[in-house]
Amino acid sequence: STIVAGAVLLAKRGIRVFRGSSHPCPAVPVDMVAGTIMEALAGCRRATDPAAAQQPDPRIRHATVDSSQADWIPSFRTLMVRLFQILALRRDLSLPEGGLLLRLLTWSDNETAFWLLDIVANRAPNAILSLLCTVAYCIAFAVGLRSDEWKERCKNIRMLSRYSHLPMQYAPFSSPSSAWQFKSSLRLPADWDPAEYSSLIVRAAVAFAAAASKGGSGAAASTAARAAEASFAELRVVAPRGVVQEALLTFSMPGAPLFQCTAAFLIRRVLQWMDLTVTVNASDLNSLTHLSAPLVLCPTHRSLLDFVIIGAACFELRPQVPTLKLPHVAADAEFSGLPFLGRALSALGAFFVRRGGGAVQPDPALRAEVGRVFRNGRPLEVFLEGLRSRGRRHLRLRTGLLRALRDVAQRSVALVPVALSYELLPEDQSFFDELRGLPRPPLRTLGLVSWVLKGVRGELPSYGDVHVRLGATRVLDASSDLRALLSQVQAELVGLTALSTLHARALAEVLELPAGDVLQATRSAGLRLRPSRLDGWGVKLSEAQRWALALQMAILLRDQLPQQWALWLVEPVFGRTSAPSQRPLSDDESQKSGPEVAAEKDPGALDIAAVARALAAMLEAAEEAGHNAAKQMREGGITAVSEEHLAQQLLDTQDGRGGLPPPLARGAACIVAGALSPVAPATGYDAPPSSGAAGGGGATADGAKPRTVEPIWPAAAQGRGAERRVDTEALDRWGFSDTRFAAQWVDGKPAVQVTSKRYSALGGQPLYQLWAFFQRELAVSMNVRDTLPEQPLPEVPQEPEDLRKQLEAAVPAERVVWDAEARLRAGTGHGLADIWRLRTREADRRMPDAVVQPSSEGEVLAVLQAAAAAAGEEAGGFAVIPVGGRTNVTSATQCPGRAEDPRPFVALDMRGLSKVLWVNAEDGVAHIEAGITGVALKKALAKHGVTMGMEPDSMEFSTLGGWIATRASGMKRARYGNIEEMIVETRVATPTGLLWQRNGGATSSSSCPGTAFGRVSAGPALPGLVLGSEGCLGVVTSAVVRVKPLPEVVEYQSVVFQDWAAGAAWMREVARLPAAVRPASCRLMDSKQLGLSRAIREGSGGHGPVRAALQGIALRLRGVSLGEASAATLLFEGSRAEVAVQKRLLAQLVSRMGGVWGGASSGEAGYALTFAIAYLRDFGLDYRILSESLETMAPWSAIGKVWPAVVAAVRAEHRALRLPGQPFLSCRMTQLYDEGGVLYMYLAVSTAGLGTERALEAFERLEHAARRAVLAAGGCL
């Protein structure tokens, strides 16, 4: 018809302007007059057939609409406007071009203007184009360059030119001066829809235009016409286009800010680099055109691309569907910490939420943020599943955001489910790795930039198609039952998910069935599958992609699978007892999928029931494996089988044959652990890490009630008073009682905080990364509230009455302490076994019967002499154990059992002897009592302008006497030496008196200052006997030590290396330098300790996300990745000349060995953190994470073998013990000697699910395996 012909010419750009009025067109669709036409054709027989003489008048009459219904027919102008709109919606017409055509249509209202426009826009361009094309053809023919192509182009252009006069001929019809009026008996049907009529005309025009592009006839033209007609069912919002065309279409979007246009352009380019085609079901948009309530989009969550694709679709469709403005996305708070990207998302309207905290306490900040964006008037985009689904399962929908929205809105809200159906995902491999137990890589802006650069270089693979379906609108108001509403939303999300032939092939590969048979069975069962262009290309699927697609296909068959697996594939919102059936497809979908469904069933072919049986058999076998593994775990002493722990065992079997595929292992673990748990079944691997304890549910592995943790939101944190420092030492933890690492909810997200500001390197900011670090490195899930319970101190036996009399006779009564806490403190050290038993209150070992706290050397002698005197009596006397700062890690103060030694035991707490007796700065010696702590000693000597230089990690609590008794070393050994190089003389108390060689003055006075000889060759030296004796030969009461003037310069620095091997090689070169030019401290840490240091320093010292990202980029450019790097912290001390020489020599080594200077602030912070890291072990114990350090000296010839041997041995033993997660193993090189280096190794494991003693036994087995490996590799204990 003429109307369709005009639309075809506009669609093909053969014509650019028509004249159209607002009067209705006197026409009806062809199918409505077909009967009249047939009657007229039949009337042609009237002259030859007498019987036909009785038929009606053969002339065509009453074939148009009666004047009474003329307004039901749209005008030509309306039809053209609708054409421009639909072409723009399909991206066949750019918005600027569409705007120009609409403007030309408006100008054509004037007859004179139309006459000029017809010449300028229609006839002249076609004539000029025809002439140019003819010239080009002649030139091409003359030189022999593809003349056939130019000939075809000339033919097409000449054909269009022939129709250039049609707009002028159409004018009386398309733009009559008055409305056409007819009298007719023809009436339009009651369900006549002018919009549908307009759509049919446009669809016909596009189909004819597509056929014309293929020659106008033949199979190719018919195929193109059918494809164009079918394309109206789906709108392509992202499809391959050139850069210029994409920029023109994007930046011409009416009403869109420049920043949104720029973001949309970049996003669309990235999606095109991924070869990702995004389509939206057109009919689904109808429900959004007349919304009166605020819109909330509720999409499935499968990828980080979700909000990108929805945003691109809304940006594209907004001119045609005004309600689809760019939505405010409820993004996870992790995005807010990303440099640049976080700010960009915020500028685009994203708001950040802390997920999971609402279970502890409603978040007032969340409600305020939801209220802010809600009042903005743009739609909201809420991912009700919370987390991206690993394995494409449908996760349980959460209610927190909707509750906040309902409270804030105070009116009805329209919820629209949005199902995003992917073929392949960029995250498929990373999700699969997570299912395998590997840590989730954190979101990083640098990673995104690297990924985009791959797209620019064309290195990204094709990810196939994404199909977007919108569900029915559902109303959320104050009376809504959220769980019932979410159940309906979830059912629709499941039903709207579209699968492709690629999904069927993946399921066939997993089940090891012929792909063609599975596809045929699916079609025969009436299940609709979209054709996949990836499947047509024969793309080879990786294991990660195969399992993701197969699981998504399994959801389609869940009503034929075991119920527990069906509920795992689609987690119910609440206690549903059966899997929902598949939603029937609409007539529209059925018609669209007709060719796929029409296949006839071969009687001998595989049917869908057989496919489901094969899948069910695989799932049941995995579940049986889960029950067997759980049984073995319980037999091995694991009392609480958690989902994570069981999944680990299923993934890594003990027989070396390999475990279950990760998705099956996770599903079986969820089902089996849920059945074994005394509490509610776990919600699956996709639940937030903080929502389920590693030990299973909210109960602790020990059966005790977990402690409650006060949730902290910003409002609750305000108004806190000044910190009150408490300098008392904790009993069952390291360090001061006011300082510890504690986990709590901060802004609704688990974080670790330090309870005091004692250590400036830590600050008071929440450490979100530290909490994530523990979970990632140990591969376990942790629950903030699932900690070891606080319990009263264990009881200790009553002291012997005879002992009280003996001690009070030797020393004043106030020196003797009998209370339980003092006895527990004196009878335990800070080794793991001691602290673990104290923390779990299972300290059933023998403790000292009394604690004596002498304040002078004479009182020490009195106690020892009393013990010796009583030894000859009938009671047998008592034994004495000297105790210093209680920092020993070897259980050195442990009392033997009564069966082994029935005597009473007395602990001699030496911390009362803490004075500096004299200092001789001239001779460089000082006489100091043995009970002084390292920090007090440093301060006291500084008043005299000198320093001893002894700074072990424990210097806040360890004592001079302890250093001597254990032959200790300090962090500044390179400048000041070890303790054996600092000691000149010792005074040792014994039951028979003092041992004192008197090599120098024993006392100091104004006339005769105390001193000591640096070296005496007559006889053996007493310090040589006492060093390392651990109190066996006597009690060290004081010592004369070497001191040096305070350094003129103290400077810090750090160096970063590509990996541990590069850093260790650099340390070897430093060790070759003369001792005088080495830095005072040079310590190398591996990548894990470097990561721990960065997590502890989160947000402090200006180390925000932007600066961290810039540092990461700078290191990347130097070839250093922080995930593999090692770092050395340096401390320079001495005169300015000394330090200058040291720095110059080290700079040469750094340059030669490929190191990168890390800065002085990093070096200082790394040195200061040494004193704070010790608190982390006790934080781990709160969550049943046992950890300890091991130290070894290894020759340079063997040092490279020691650490790999330890790692291999510990991992093998960990696997044999079936412990949860994975061991955390980290190493640092702390000391350099001419002969070798000192390795300080850290080991930590989770013992969730194990009893107290079983946990300690397992850890000691790991320690023993590590020590054996050290010795076998050439190290020493």
Mind telling me the catalytic residues?
Answer: 1240
Question: Rounded distance, CA 534 to CA 700, Å?
Answer: 49
Residue 57: which residues within 8 A CB-CB, separation 6 or more?
43
H or E element in which residue 204 lies:
helix 194-213
Question: For the CA atoms of the chain, what is the radius of gyration?
Answer: 41
* Extended strands (E) in 449-608: 464-470, 474-476
Task: Characterize the bridge pairing of strands 328-332 and 380-381.
Answer: parallel
String of b and e for 901-934 (b: at least 16 CB within 10 Å)? eebbbbbbbbbbbbbbebbbeebbbbbbbbbbbb
Of the candidates 696, 677, 700, the one whose C-alpha atom is nearest the C-alpha of residue 787 is 700
Burial of 237 from C-beta contacts in 10 A (0-12 / 13-18 / 19+): buried
Separation in Å, CA 1266 to CA 1193, 1246, 1275: 14, 17, 11
The answer to whether 416 and 408 have CB atoms below 8 angstroms apart is no
DSSP 8-state assignment for residue 1076: G
At CA 258, angle to CA 100 and CA 334, rounded to 5?
140
| Residues linked to residue 1085 through DSSP beta bridges, in sequence order | 1127, 1228
- Mention every residue, 6+ apart, whose C-beta is less than 8 A from residue 849: 797, 799, 800, 803, 823, 878, 904, 905, 906
Structure tokens, 367: 């409600």
**End-to-end distance of the chain based on CA atoms, in angstroms?**
97
Nearest alpha carbon to residue 1060 among 1089, 1082, 1029: 1089
- Pairwise CA distance, residues 1005 & 1026, whole Å: 28
Query: Tokens in use for 130?
Result: 């025809």
Beta strand 816-817 with 741-746: parallel, antiparallel or unpaired?
unpaired
Q: How many C-beta neighbours within 10 Å does residue 219 have?
A: 8
Query: What tokens appear for 767 in the block?
Result: 């450490």
CB 844 within 8 A of CB 899: no
At CA 1057, angle to CA 1056 and CA 1063, rounded to 5?
115
Q: Among 854, 836, 988, which residue's Cα sits nearest to residue 909?
A: 854
CA 1044 to chain centre: 51
Contacts of 460 (CB under 8 A, 6+ apart): 273, 274, 275, 451, 454
What are phi and psi for residue 1127, nearest 5 degrees? -140, 140
Residue closest to 1088 by CA, chosen among 1066, 1062, 1113, 1060? 1060
d(CA 109, CA 161): 24
The length of the chain, given as a count of residues? 1277
Nearest one of 414, 588, 389 to 494, comparing CA atoms: 389
**Beta strands 1156-1157; 1049-1057: pairing state:** antiparallel
Output the CA angle 437-438-441, nearest 5 degrees.
140
876 near 902, Cβ under 8 Å?
A: yes
